[in-house]
Amino acid sequence: MRVKNMMSEDVVSIDKDQNVCDALRVMKKHKKSRLAVINTNHDNIKEMVGVITEKDIALKLGSSKYGNMPPSHFHISTVMTKDIIEVDMEMKLGYVANLMLENNIGGMPVMEDGAMAGMITKSDLIDTCRGKPYEKQSVQDLMSTELIIVSPSDRLVHARRIMLDAKVGRLLVMEEDVIAGLITSKDISRAMISFRKVVPDKHKSARIRNLLVEDVMTQGVRTISMDVSIAEAAHIMLDEGLSGFPVVDEDNKTVGIITKTDLLDLIVEMEGVS
C-alpha cells in the first residue's frame, strides 16, 4: 500500500505570524496535533514553511529561556519545526513509517509536482493495523515494558525534561505502583498557556517551577489487556483519539505501555521499507 491510499487531503494550516494560543485553538477545533505553517510571499502565493505540533509548544513554553514571555509573544515562526521532511504520494507505507521512526516525528507533508497534496500522520498509518494480518499479533508482543514514569508530586518542569530527554509525548503517573494518571505534551502546553495568562510576568519564572504533575495530569486513564490483538488496539486508539495506553495483566497490574510508535515498528516489519 502507498501513501496516496492513506494520506489525508484535509490539511489544516496556520500563518507563521500567528501565536501559539491561536495554534492550540485551531488544533482543538479540528482535533489535530500538528498544523502546516504557511507564509504568503510577495506574489501572494501561500507556501509551506514549517510544521508546528503540540509537543513543539510544550517544549518551548517550558523553557527557562522564555520564562517571562506571555504566550501571545510566541509567534508560530519561533516555535515551529523548519526542517520539513517531505514524502511522495507513491512511497510505500513501510518506508514512510520508518522515516517517522528514524526522525522521531508524527507526520509529514505529502507532495505532488512540487505542491503539497496532503499530510500523512501516525494515525493514518496505523489505520493499516486494523487489517486481518494484524489480528494475529497481540499487545503483549509489541508493548514496551520499560516504563518511563513520574509521580503526582513531581514538578511539571521535571516531567517536561523527561519527555524531552526520552523523546516521548506522554508519561505514566504512578503512585505506589498504581496508575494515578497520564500526562502528555498536550496537557503541558495547555497548562503553560493558562499559567502564563494569569501570572504576572515578574513572577512567572519562580511560580512555574511550583506547578506539579497532579495539577495537570489526566485521571481515569484507559488501559488495555496484554492479550488484546494489535488490530483491536489500533481500533481503540483511532476511535477514542488516543496515542497510547498502559497495558495491564490479568491481575490488573501495569506491565507495559503501547503507543502509536510501537505500531509503526510493526508496520515497518510487516510492510517492509523498500
pLDDT in the model for residue 94:
93
Task: Say if residue 188 is in the same domain as residue 71.
Answer: no
pLDDT in the model for residue 58:
75
Element (H, E) at 68: none
Task: Say if residue 26 is in the same domain as residue 83.
Answer: yes
What's the total number of domains in the chain?
2
Query: How do the pLDDT tens digits run along the chain, 274 residues long?
Result: 889 999 998 889 999 999 988 998 999 898 888 899 999 877 777 788 999 988 888 777 766 565 556 667 788 998 898 888 999 999 999 999 999 999 988 899 998 887 889 999 999 999 999 989 999 999 999 999 998 999 999 998 899 889 888 888 889 999 988 999 999 888 887 787 777 666 655 555 556 778 899 999 999 899 999 999 999 999 999 999 888 999 999 999 999 999 999 999 999 999 888 7
Which residues sit opposite 40 in a β-bridge?
46
Residues 11 and 239: their CA atoms lie apart, in Å, by 20
Task: Say if residue 165 is in the same domain as residue 109.
Answer: no
Task: Say if residue 101 is in the same domain as residue 152.
Answer: no
Radius of gyration of the chain from its Cα atoms, rounded to whole angstroms = 19
Residue that terminates a domain, selected from 60, 95, 130: 130
Domain range for 171 is 132-271
pLDDT in the model for residue 70:
67
pTM for this predicted structure: 0.81
Q: How many CB atoms lie within 10 A of CB 249?
A: 13
Task: Say if residue 199 is in the same domain as residue 76.
Answer: no
Task: Say if residue 258 is in the same domain as residue 141.
Answer: yes
Residues 94 and 102: their CA atoms lie apart, in Å, by 12
Which residues sit opposite 121 in a β-bridge?
107
pLDDT in the model for residue 135:
93
Task: Say if residue 256 is in the same domain as residue 137.
Answer: yes
Task: Say if residue 141 is in the same domain as residue 267.
Answer: yes
Place of cell 491510499: 5
CATH code, domain carrying 66: 3.10.580.10
Task: Say if residue 118 is in the same domain as residue 146.
Answer: no
**Is the distance from CB of 10 to CB of 137 less than 8 angstroms?**
no
pLDDT tens for 209-229 read: 788 999 999 998 999 999 999
Residue that terminates a domain, selected from 95, 130, 165: 130
pLDDT in the model for residue 226:
96
Q: Measured between alpha carbons, how far is residue 244 from residues 39, 101, 123, 210 in Å?
A: 33, 16, 11, 28
pLDDT in the model for residue 228:
96
Residue that terminates a domain, selected from 108, 130, 152: 130
Q: Measured between alpha carbons, how far is residue 83 from residues 31, 47, 50, 105, 263 in Å?
A: 24, 14, 7, 11, 25
Task: Say if residue 122 is in the same domain as residue 200.
Answer: no
pLDDT in the model for residue 189:
78
Task: Say if residue 125 is in the same domain as residue 154.
Answer: no
Task: Say if residue 115 is in the same domain as residue 234.
Answer: no
